Amino acid sequence: MSARGSLRIVGLGPAGEAWLTPEASDFIANASDLVGYGPYLQRVPCKDGQMRHESRNREEIDRARHALQLAEAGRRAVIVSGGDPGVFGMAAAVFEAIETGKPEWREIDVAVSPGITAMQAVAARAGAPLGHDFCAMSLSHNLKPWAVIEKRLAAAAAADFVIALYNPASAARGEGIFKALALLRSLKPADTPVVFARAAGRKEEEILIETLAATDPARADMSTLIIIGSSETRVIARDTGAPFVYTPRTARISR
């Protein structure tokens, strides 16, 4: 390696600067090179003397390799990711690139900066649905067989976890969320509370509190995150605002 380069993998959170950590801001401010998917890079203000390297969505592993090459060449590279890069984000792609790449890459100064991930933002807006044991799953079956997703959904229902579903649908794959909800409806009560959320924290934010029976999978898109309650999850009706949804810290024996 020439000059001592570094790679920081930074989470922008789900929206705006209110949820951007000071550590993430500092790493971005001190970067010589910013690497990221276009819409995330566009959330970062331009700064004199900083190089920007925009890439497309499906090229995560190439983006990771590009950033590692920059660090290897002595640059202070920062990969920006939405949410938390450690939760269905860029961090795993970087470590995969390191493991499968040049041996020298293992010795690069790499660090991850955590961020608020979508389920936390949605939970905060709705109340406290993640207040007790929960799981987080991606429904993207670009990266795993559908049989794995079904097995995990069934186990999550059996465990009575609150379930946060990431990537429920995209233009390329719309049917997964239909199958996932059908499976969960066969395993959980119809009146299980559901938080159906889009773009939490952004101006187009939409948070719907509904039931598992009423949830319409056709509404899901790339900005959607869905939280499905456990048997303990409760809804508090209010006169003057949207209901609160929360999962108590206590759990009885269920089923």
Residues 161-190 that bind a second copy (CB under 8 A): 161
248 binds a second copy (CB under 8 A): yes
The residue written with tokens 């409806």 in the block is 185
Q: Return the residue of 127, 168, 193, 229 that touches a second copy, per CB under 8 A.
A: 127
Closest CA to 78 of 34, 116, 120, 15: 34
60 binds a second copy (CB under 8 A): yes
Q: Return the residue of 96, 205, 210, 221 that touches a second copy, per CB under 8 A.
A: 96
Q: Return the residue of 128, 183, 207, 208 that touches a second copy, per CB under 8 A.
A: 128
| Three-state SS at 37 | strand
Q: Which residues pair with 207 in a beta bridge?
A: 197
Binding segment for a second copy among 36-44, 123-131, 177-185, 188-196 (CB under 8 A)?
Answer: 123-131
Binding segment for a second copy among 36-44, 104-112, 178-186, 209-217 (CB under 8 A)?
Answer: 104-112
60, containing H or E segment: helix 60-72
116 binds a second copy (CB under 8 A): yes
Span 134-153, contacts to a second copy by CB under 8 A: 134-138, 143-145, 147-148, 151-152
| Three-state SS at 135 | strand
37 binds a second copy (CB under 8 A): no
| Three-state SS at 11 | strand
98 binds a second copy (CB under 8 A): yes
158 binds a second copy (CB under 8 A): yes
Residue 184 CB, shortest distance to a second copy, in Å, is: 14
Span 189-218, contacts to a second copy by CB under 8 A: none
21 binds a second copy (CB under 8 A): yes
24, containing H or E segment: helix 22-29
Q: Which residues lie below 8 Å from residue 214, measured CB to CB, with a gap of 6+? A: 194
Alpha-carbon distance 198 to 226, whole Å?
9
Which is closer to a second copy, CB of 51 or CB of 251? 251
C-beta separation of 160 from 229 below 8 A: no
238 binds a second copy (CB under 8 A): yes
C-beta separation of 56 from 38 below 8 A: yes
